[in-house]
Structure 1
Amino acid sequence: MTYDEFNAFCGSLAATSHVIQWGGAHVWKVGDKVFAIGGWHDDQESFTFKVSEMSFEMLKEERGVRPAPYLASRGMKWIQRYDESFLNDQDLKRYLRESHRIVSLGLSKKRQKALGLNQTAGEDDR
């Protein structure tokens, strides 16, 4: 996946915004909270995303992925794919979509509703 493809995919998800920060990284946010990072400090293309605790335990020692520098060392469950040895682009997109969902669930219910996120049919207006 190229950074252009990464940006196009992340931009297709609901209520996202994009900024360049941290030395030129492509940072994607949902409701002002980071859910994906393209690049960072490595010369090679890398993609960083939030995962569940179970996914973190499964992925952290696979080829081509690692606990995300800085984030994982602070106890956060973030993974970085730095090559396609284990996660192909289709799998990466699934994890990016799930990261978006995990992060959006951390927003207040009011904020989620305002952004049109995580709404299910039949929810009453509380």
Structure 2
Amino acid sequence: MGELIAELMPLLTDGFIRRWHVSRTRRRLAAGRPVRIPCSARSERPGRQRAYVNGKLHITPGSRTVTFGSRALGHVDLPVGGTFHEPEPDTWHSQDWAATGYEPPRGGRMVYLQVDSRYLPMLHLALAGPDAAGKV
């Protein structure tokens, strides 16, 4: 019986903890405070790793950049104000993770981002820039 409970605990608590973190992140962004969102990213820049790399997006409301930080790549700044595109669906990690393609402004190279689907609206708003805050 103890083994069954031990196997079910991560399944039951993961959803609760993730919902709590999403609502906490939403509140912090609304208050203008910086947040970190778990994310995976892949870039098509020459010299970059072509596989998805796990890390976190560091979002500061009103900033001109959103920073992706990971142990493998270090910190990569993504300028806000770009456009979103449909991703390649065969590279998604799981059905809970939503993927989006982001093309930085002024013709930058496409960056593919994967986040839990509940974070996706916040990600779109953060990368759309400060002018989009009044549109939502």
TM-score (normalised: structure 1): 0.30
**Going by fraction, where is strand more abundant, 1 or 2?**
2
Question: Which has more radius of gyration?
Answer: 2
Q: With the length of structure 2 as denominator, give the TM-score of the two structures.
A: 0.28
